[in-house]
Chains A and B, each alone.
Chain A
Amino acid sequence: GAVVSQHPSWVICKSGTSVKIECRSLDFQATTMFWYRQFPKQSLMLMATSNEGSKATYEQGVEKDKFLINHASLTLSTLTVTSAHPEDSSFYICSARDTMGGGGYEQYFGPGTRLTVT
């Protein structure tokens, strides 16, 4: 199956600093990637849709200036949490579709990144 990786798997940062999370599709190309946030014992909350070569589409209520998304290539999307605060602490998960290789609607998820802001 299609593999999506994330780096780092966990990160601790101080309040006010910025953190970058990488999402890579390892064995397929993805014109579209998605970023989710998940709180403990809750469902996945879509933050934004990342489109290669164009601006990301953010969900209502998600601050685009705080959560910067860059989809610079067909295999890499990055999420930068700027000026992080403790309330940004969460589990961030990316996903991708194999839209280039004739894939269907399947969406494959990365292993997630645990962000803790102190």
Chain B
Amino acid sequence: QQQVKQSPQSLIVQKGGISIINCAYENTAFDYFPWYQQFPGKGPALLIAIRPDVSEKKEGRFTISFNKSAKQFSLHIMDSQPGDSATYFCAASKGYSTLTFGKGTMLLVSP
């Protein structure tokens, strides 16, 4: 019940396109859903996060869409750039408990 399933495993998007990564969770007690961006050899960086009381949150080119009834949330990267090429992890937690991570999505934005 602690699983967070992330898809796709890898994604290739052309420059300027929209990258979409999806996550599904099982534990209805989760109330915090962050996305992290990780470059090779670096630690994950918090990108954007959402709480279940809103259905969408936007920060610059990054948007989280949240569907509480379907227990799904997704990351949309608008106008994708080669510099966005990285591994993206979704995660979920209940309050201040530990984060449960998805398995990650390797995004490649082709020039």
Q: Which residues of A contact B (CB under 8 A)?
A: 1, 4, 6, 32, 34, 41-44, 46, 49, 91, 93, 95, 97, 99, 104-112, 114
Contacts and interface: CB of A to CB of B under 8 A. Distances in A.
Nearest to B96: A105
B62 interface: no
Contacts of A43: 89, 101-104
Interface of B: 32, 34, 36, 41-46, 49, 89, 93, 95-96, 98-99, 101-104, 106
Interface of A is mostly: strand
A105 B98 contact: no
Contacts of B46: 1, 106-109
22 contacts: A1-B46, A4-B43, A6-B43, A42-B104, A43-B101, A43-B102, A44-B44, A44-B89, A46-B99, A93-B43, A104-B32, A105-B32, A105-B34, A105-B49, A105-B95, A106-B46, A107-B34, A107-B99, A109-B43, A109-B44, A109-B46, A111-B42
A108 B47 CA distance: 10
Contacts of A93: 43-44
Nearest to B43: A109
Given A34-B98, A46-B98, A114 B41 contact: yes
Contacts of A108: 46
A39 to B, nearest CB: 12
Most buried by A among B44, B101, B104: B44
B30 to A, nearest CB: 11
Contacts of A109: 36, 43-46
